[in-house]
Structure 1
Amino acid sequence: MPSIRYNQLDSLRGLAAISVVIHHYLLIFPQFYEKTIDNSGYALVNFLKYTPLHIFFSGTQAVILFFVLSGFVLSLPFLNNINSSYSIYLTRRVTRIYIPYLVSLVIVLIAVKLFSEGVLTGFSPWANGKWSDPIDFKLIIDHLFLVGNFANGEYNPIYWSLVHEMRISILFPIIMIFIIKYKWKFSLLWSLIISAFGFVGTTLLSHANIETDYMLSLYYGLSFVIGALLAKHKDMLIKFFESKSKTVKILITILSIFLYTFPSWVLNFPVIPERLLNPPNTVMASIGAAMFIILALASKTIKKVLLFKPFQFFGDISYSLYLYHCIPLFVLLHQFNDKVTTWILLITSCIVSILLAVLSYYFVEKPSIKLGKKVSTKLKNQETNKKLAG
């Protein structure tokens, strides 16, 4: 399946990955983790997390952006009539996501075995919720299959999103049948209904003490659909943006930031029950993410910024940075939290994470992509030969 690539969207993914890194590095502090405005030395960060400036460390919204981007990018071959069998599609998707994931899983399990020291005194419940228990063989097997229901945040807190990414990717060609066949209003409507069903189902199962996150994949499927609809109507939306005045373009840009950070500046206060945050979070963040993509495609200024070499660099390594950034963080916290200043540990973690991401990109990701292309080409040749023989 030939790739259709917009380099500025790679940079957008890279910036989102950086915001996830910052988000997780701040989450180790109880003052940031707790839903409260603290007056300690972290008062500024605690204030910023309830404003649109939360965009710089909006980890949850960044994952929604990843999902919308996936829906956008995966839909392009279908929309451009680039025909390919399901086996070829799935081969490329699995080699793209699963092989780098599997290598990171091996590394994180080694790190847990060698460096975990139990409870981290003075750090948040989030930090102490990782690497706190001995390695479980059954949990490792669950991780190997990736798409099942398991404690997917035990070893690496980002794995949960890959579970949903793979589940939805497996079903995505079916989703595209509806996207291509029906008008956007109908596609969006049934997607909203399925997403609502997934959220309600998750809530009810949780109240019944049934631990499963299969329903959450239905819930997050909305973001993929929004991305696919965006790809389908991108030309019209780009023309719409380009036809507006400079003032209107600035207002659209500001609106996209407010929508993307909506859960932070409107709903993220302690008075709002946690269970009510997710639906508006996903809908608003998905719309904001979709607007970011249109801005990246239609705005010459934003496109120029995103094509800046350092942003391109982080776009290239974004998946590996996402996979690895928590591993050096937890290694250093467990080994040196009582010996070295926390901020030095964070800076060191950041540097090591980038180095690991670069190594992973060149020695794992690129070979995996190459393998996917090689296998899919072989499968395509086999399918062509069968058709000729028939």
Structure 2
Amino acid sequence: MRDRPTGRIGSLDGLRGVAAAVVVVHHTLLTIPAFSDGNYRAAVPGWASWLVYSPAHVLWAGSEAVFVFFVLSGFVLTLPALRRSQDWIAYYPSRLVRLYLPVLVSIGLALALFFLVPRQDQPHQSYWINRHAEPLSLHSLFNDVTLLSPSLVNSPLWSLTWEVFFSLLLPLFVSIAAVTRRWWWATGIIGIVLSSIGWYEHVLWLTYLPMFLIGSALAAGWERIPDVGTLVGWVLLPASLAGITAEWWLPDDAWWSPAVRAIVLASAGVIVVLAGKWLPAERFLLGGVPRELGRLSFSLYLVHEPVTVSLANLLPATFPSWLIVVAIPIGLGVAVVFSRFVELPAHRLAKRIAKTLSTKPPVPQAV
């Protein structure tokens, strides 16, 4: 019998941790001019081009890791609501406290670093770092706090905008998943197609919200999805890791770019399935390092970027490559403190709110 946790699927926490680590590596490498140029589709000289324009891009595929986050959120919030009735009155305030309280504190931290370490546009810095030298205004601060349109004070908050929208629309997603449970795979395909169309047409809500629908579809069909055999898994793993970076190494032809985006999104869904249905992946993701990264993932996601940008502005021009050695452990350390004193208390408060407003057991929350 497989060594699986009951209830909560622990290996998905490990996957979230690995995805968060990829985002951290992504932003750290963007402090190096060659990788920053490659991220904006410029020519990259030498060996760095191999890490940009090949399947090896998966090591720092930050945007694609966020796609995995979105699919995971669709899955982990839909699954409990399908398994038992959801108390929506208790859900909404609890969920918003769970998201917004850590976000607000992370904005405070980012603002403190913004004033302590001024962002400067300097010739030796990467284009990505210099973009952070934008002025601060009350309008941008309002957009940060509300998550309507986050600024570069803490740029990863852009994804929280869509997490909030999805959280508010969760009853709709759960209803779709419940009604189409027998045809869950069709719902997943529709999510992939809609998101690909949205990306091609530059419609943000149509690009990102269907990614959550992919996760909701997987939740609806989870009991029908068979365990992945060992050999099949070893085929699907490299295929999905290559597929999720397809936009970086396949020819960039406009006429078929929606199909390439569909490959990326399908690969994100396959990665989630492998994490929960393929024993080698489950065992790895249930290991100490992935699980610890999973525990810290939300805090790490919220605090690492302002820390990285501040260090890039502090260190001399001769030090850019060594920033990787410095920024990652410092970001992890700040995340540990943030998790202990901000995220966990916010999580406990959200659970108390849910318990106060409902007589039912609180539904597990996730980010």
- TM-score by length of structure 2 reads 0.88
Q: Distance in 1 between matches of 2:243 and 2:250?
A: 10
Q: 2:221 aligns with which of 225, 233, 236?
A: 233
Aligned counterpart, 2:301: 322
Aligned counterpart, 2:363: none
Aligned counterpart, 1:15: 18
| Count of matched residue pairs | 351
How far has the Cα of 1:374 moved from its partner?
0.4
Listed as ranges, the gaps of 5+ residues in structure 2 are 1-5, 361-367
Q: Distance in 1 between matches of 2:249 and 2:194?
A: 27
Aligned counterpart, 1:376: 354
Give, as a single letter, the amino acid of the residue that structure 1 aligns with 2:65. A
Q: CA offsets, 1:11-69, max 9 Å, x none? A: 11111111111111111222222224533xxx223212222221111111000000000
Aligned counterpart, 1:262: 246
Residue 88 of structure 1 aligns to a residue whose secondary structure is helix
Instruction: Sort the Cα spacing of 1:33 and 1:168 in 2 relative to 1 into closer, same or farther, 3 A.
Output: same
Aligned counterpart, 1:211: none
Listed as ranges, the gaps of 5+ residues in structure 1 are 203-214, 383-390
Instruction: Sort the Cα spacing of 1:160 and 1:282 in 2 relative to 1 into closer, same or farther, 3 A.
Output: farther
Instruction: Sort the Cα spacing of 1:281 and 1:98 in 2 relative to 1 into closer, same or farther, 3 A.
Output: farther
Q: Describe how 1:51-66 pairs up with structure 2 within 5 A.
A: 51-66=54-69
How far has the Cα of 1:194 moved from its partner?
4.8
Q: Please identify the structure whose Cα radius of gyration is greater.
A: 1
Q: CA offsets, 1:172-211, max 9 Å, x none? A: 2112212211233653465456546644663xxxxxxxxx
Instruction: Sort the Cα spacing of 1:145 and 1:295 in 2 relative to 1 into closer, same or farther, 3 A.
Output: same
* 2:69 aligned with 1:85: no
Q: Distance in 1 between matches of 2:189 and 2:131?
A: 38
* 2:350 aligned with 1:347: no
Q: CA offsets, 1:307-326, max 9 Å, x none? A: 11111111110111111111
Q: 1:38 aligns with which of 41, 44, 54?
A: 44
Q: Distance in 2 between matches of 1:101 and 1:280?
A: 35
Q: Distance in 1 between matches of 2:357 and 2:138?
A: 35
Q: 1:160 aligns with which of 158, 161, 166?
A: 158
Instruction: Sort the Cα spacing of 1:7 and 1:196 in 2 relative to 1 into closer, same or farther, 3 A.
Output: closer
* 2:306 aligned with 1:308: no
Q: Describe how 1:105-120 pairs up with structure 2 within 5 A.
A: 105-120=107-122
Give, as a single letter, the amino acid of the residue that structure 1 aligns with 2:142. I
- Conserved in 1, the CA contact under 8 Å of 2:240 and 2:270? yes
Q: Distance in 2 between matches of 1:333 and 1:281?
A: 34
How far has the Cα of 1:298 moved from its partner?
2.0
- Conserved in 2, the CA contact under 8 Å of 1:70 and 1:224? yes
How far has the Cα of 1:95 moved from its partner?
2.1
Aligned counterpart, 2:170: 172
Aligned counterpart, 1:98: 100
Aligned counterpart, 2:72: 69
- Conserved in 2, the CA contact under 8 Å of 1:90 and 1:170? yes
Q: Distance in 1 between matches of 2:280 and 2:235?
A: 15
Instruction: Sort the Cα spacing of 1:180 and 1:299 in 2 relative to 1 into closer, same or farther, 3 A.
Output: same
Q: Distance in 2 between matches of 1:98 and 1:157?
A: 16
Give, as a single letter, the amino acid of the residue that structure 2 aligns with 1:344. W
Instruction: Sort the Cα spacing of 1:260 and 1:197 in 2 relative to 1 into closer, same or farther, 3 A.
Output: closer
Q: Distance in 1 between matches of 2:302 and 2:325?
A: 18
Residue 236 of structure 1 aligns to a residue whose secondary structure is coil
Alpha carbon RMSD of aligned pairs, Å? 2.5
Q: 1:332 aligns with which of 291, 308, 311?
A: 311
- Conserved in 1, the CA contact under 8 Å of 2:192 and 2:211? no
How far has the Cα of 1:92 moved from its partner?
2.8
Q: CA offsets, 1:218-246, max 9 Å, x none? A: 3211211111111111222234x24xxx4
* 2:295 aligned with 1:293: no
Aligned counterpart, 2:142: 141
Give, as a single letter, the amino acid of the residue that structure 2 aligns with 1:288. S
Q: 1:223 aligns with which of 196, 200, 211?
A: 211
Give, as a single letter, the amino acid of the residue that structure 1 aligns with 2:137. D
Q: Distance in 2 between matches of 1:336 and 1:222?
A: 41
Q: Distance in 2 between matches of 1:195 and 1:258?
A: 20
